[in-house]
Structure 1
Amino acid sequence: MNSNYFVYITTNPKRTTLYIGVTNDLVRRLEEHASQAGNPKTFTGRYFCYHLIYWERFDTPQDAIDREKELKGWRREKKEALIDAENPQWIFLNDEI
């Protein structure tokens, strides 16, 4: 059984839009987002949100889902503070995972 579940935040090249998601395979999911770039039918495609700027790992899917819901309920300022605490330059982390 996979015990790696991730909540992640991606952004667009200008860092103006945030997307929060959950997955059990972060590399695959980021590749899926990148392949949708420019697709108006998906949020990440429409806004080019495939640059990873933050992630957290969890042991259970429910913990990851609960955290995703929590983060999605936050105001933009609080999300930015979370990202700034771990990645103050908002460096794209795709190549580091």
Structure 2
Amino acid sequence: MKIYYVYILLCSDETYYTGITSNLNKRLFEHNSGENADSYTYHRRPIELVYYCEFTEVGFAIDTEKQIKKWSKAKKEALINSEYDKLPNLAKKKFK
């Protein structure tokens, strides 16, 4: 059974990068080595893996990656810090 990983990287400029791969170690090496000069992480190295989760269905992994990419930095940090109780409130729009 193939495993797919959705991961979040902390970049040197304190931004987050979210991606998907079927080979996490290889993909981290590619990010850190600067294999692709056009990638988001190229000028933001070094990077640090701060979160990942595993999926056996690629469709679920893709959907999760797309969802996380839309999240605010605060919501990503709650996920990274296992503060799951904060996630619903961070999803709500603030009205003034």
Report the TM range for the smaller structure's normalisation.
0.7 to 0.9
Name structure 2 gaps, 5 residues minimum: 84-96
Name structure 1 gaps, 5 residues minimum: 87-97
TM-score normalized by the length of structure 1: 0.76
* 1:76 CA drift (Å): 1.0
**What is the CA RMSD across the aligned residues, in angstroms?**
1.8
Aligned residues: percent identity? 39
Equivalent in the alignment of 1:90: none
* Alpha carbons 2:4, 2:54 under 8 Å: kept: yes
* Structure-2 separation of matches of 1:29 and 1:56: 14
> For residues 27 and 61 of structure 1, do their structure 2 counterparts lie closer, same or farther at Cα, with a shift above 3 Å needed?
same
Equivalent in the alignment of 2:67: 70
Equivalent in the alignment of 1:25: 23
TM-score normalized by the length of structure 2: 0.77
Equivalent in the alignment of 1:5: 4
> For residues 76 and 12 of structure 1, do their structure 2 counterparts lie closer, same or farther at Cα, with a shift above 3 Å needed?
same
Q: Which has the larger radius of gyration?
A: 2
Q: How many residues align?
A: 82
Indicate the SS of the match to 1:70.
helix
* Structure-2 separation of matches of 1:56 and 1:63: 11
Runs of 4+ in structure 1 deviating by more than 6 angstroms, as ranges, are none
